Structure 1
Amino acid sequence: VNDIDKPALETKGLDGVVCGHTDLIGFYDDRTEYCGQNVARLCKEGSFEAVMWLLLNDEMPDSERLADCCSILSDSAVIDQPIADMVSAVPLQTRPLDLFPVAISLLSCFDPTPCDRTLPASRSQFWRVMAQTPVLMHVAFGGSLNEGRAITDESRTLSWAGQLLQILRDDHAPPTPREEHAFNVLMICQCLTEMRPACFLMRLFGSIVNDVVAGLKASSSMYVSQLRNDPYTWMSSRLRRLRSPQEAESWFAKRSSPIPCGFEPAEVLAGSHPEEDNQLRQDPRALLLKEQCRQLLGTMDGLILESVSARLENLMAHNAMAPTMDWASTRLMMLLDVPDDRMSLAVGLARMVGWAAQTLEQFDSGVSLLPELHYAETELPQPPA
């Protein structure tokens, strides 16, 4: 066997490289924080609009600012007929998630201040996109508009999350207060994650140009590409087929490998053992979402889902695998009757807030994230002594 020449240049890319610091999110053993605010408290208050303001402005809004935020979202939730005509031409069988970057791109073409890159303008552009994207989705789902709006006067008092839930369900009746609160909690928990490809794209945009909407187009495309095999649809479809804990255990026993998504390796808490009491360290937000699930167990199907999910979680705990926030979100959206193929879209819409905040924070830091390449016939730069 001939020896293989070892390349002269060895690089590991950007793996393991810390590219900066963020105050947007903090992870602790017993809690997660957004801008120093405990997410559990934010979820108890149940206002996704307040969290939007917090992440974009690095401070909690007072009652007047929160009212202004809600008013802006409500007033902006209107689209012109030309945009509606364009998206209504998309085939109805198009996967809802694939409409996500399309909607953002279309809306950006009709933005009244496309060339304004000041921070106030960037925030205003984001508010408009956030308000109008669900309306455009309503049209893409085959819904009709009333003077450019997707929501009737009866539902105008709903929060942004409540209106989105009604649109996702194609429901003429507004969600109940309990359902609306649960969906607000889901949006709050899902809006920020650890560094992922879509987050890095937003930070890259922020380090070069202060263009939130352009970043959203890129990050939404990345998000959609990564979910070509949609884990939310996979999890919900499997859970829906299992009608008892015993059936869940039988299905799990026949698998050649653990459940491929919805779980992550977890540390066993001190003084416990996973095979005895399943005490694993979990994302605090997953626990918050599971608590919302327990608040919605009003039907036999809901009770079956709870028992099946609990059995699968116990089985996975034997391998020191804990349920993720995505697993808990899937369970909650099933109880809220969100269609399986629209769950990932709901999560993507929540993530838009965190993505926008990443761009603004990176731009404000002034730190460049553009790396260098080693080109052929050039010397690799040597690090300083």
Structure 2
Amino acid sequence: MTVGRVLVVGAGLGGLTLAHGLVRAGVDVRVYEADDGPGERSQGYRIGLAPPAMEVLRASLPPRLHRLVEVTSGSLTGPGLLFDEQLTVLSRDLEGPPAEARAVDRQVLRRILLGDLGDRVAYAKRLAGLTQDAEGTVTARFADGTRATGQVLVGADGGNSVVRRNLAPEVGLVDSDLCGAMGRTPVTDRFLRLVPGRGTMVKGPGITLMLGRMQFGREPSEAAAEIAPGLDMPYRDSYVRWVLLVPPEHPAATDPGRARDDARELVLDLIDGWHPDLRDLVRSADMSAVGRSKVYDRPMPSWPVGRVTLLGDAAHLTLASGGNGANTAMQDAARLCASLAEVDRGERELISVLGAYQDDLLERGNAAVEFGKQALKRFVPDTAASQ
């Protein structure tokens, strides 16, 4: 007995990793994405992928796409620096990702993950509802009036997951009372000196600025043209990513707004008097990639086991301070893929497998949520300690 068709709602990193793994395992899969196309909105900044996540990509992706991940990724070796606001070195041993981890750009990685899936991915499919019937199928209903039917549905639709609201409508986001302002600035020698290694933290009075370098091993569009001809990959400059957590008492913490220039000016106002290199870093940002948003997380309780399950942020939304959201989602994808492949080979029974997957997902995912909360204390001690 095969597992049948798997419907994946959400074309983020976790959902696309799952789709590739299922294709490789010979399982029928379709992905439904709410966005109108792959480039409709920004998909984040630099992230660090630990060795287990890199191994998931190696096992899931076609060789040429995995090679593209490798050659475009950047190093996370070197010191982790802690500065004060005038760039006085306070420590050269700041905790960070393991040396074997790799820096990847989230948007570039998503473009790579979309490669070779072709018409298995459908866009402008905003989930309106879903039903499970007694015959062993799940039907997804989309806002455009279309439907899709399969034997399993996986909610990989992010922190505001519609699938999660159907499974556990009582579970909401947990507000951290913080707002993050963020951006990326094209690299120069001057700005790279601020981040010579795996990451830099700048501690000012009541404010923390986090810096990370995304220095591509090869420029992504050039590498894609050689390694994966036909893959849609826009040109991307290497950059320094910066993130500032707005203090809870600041008006922007509760009213984050949307204006990109407002976000940059907010950061410049908060770091007034800081070292000129830091102010110029923010001032020189790529304005297409500046923004701010509220910071949430959410642990997840169990839900009734059936043919609908969750993956990644849809199940366990973690604070960015933990740096483990994408890594955890990829582990979810690998474990769910392996389990569904066993069902497809007739080795295990579907509902039993999904129940075991849920237990594992919640144990690992909720631990990742807690790790993010504890890590937040490095950035905002008083706020994190009170949660």
Relative to the length of structure 1, the TM-score reads 0.25
Higher share of residues assigned helix: 1
Higher share of residues assigned strand: 2
Relative to the length of structure 2, the TM-score reads 0.25
Structure possessing the higher radius of gyration over alpha carbons: 1
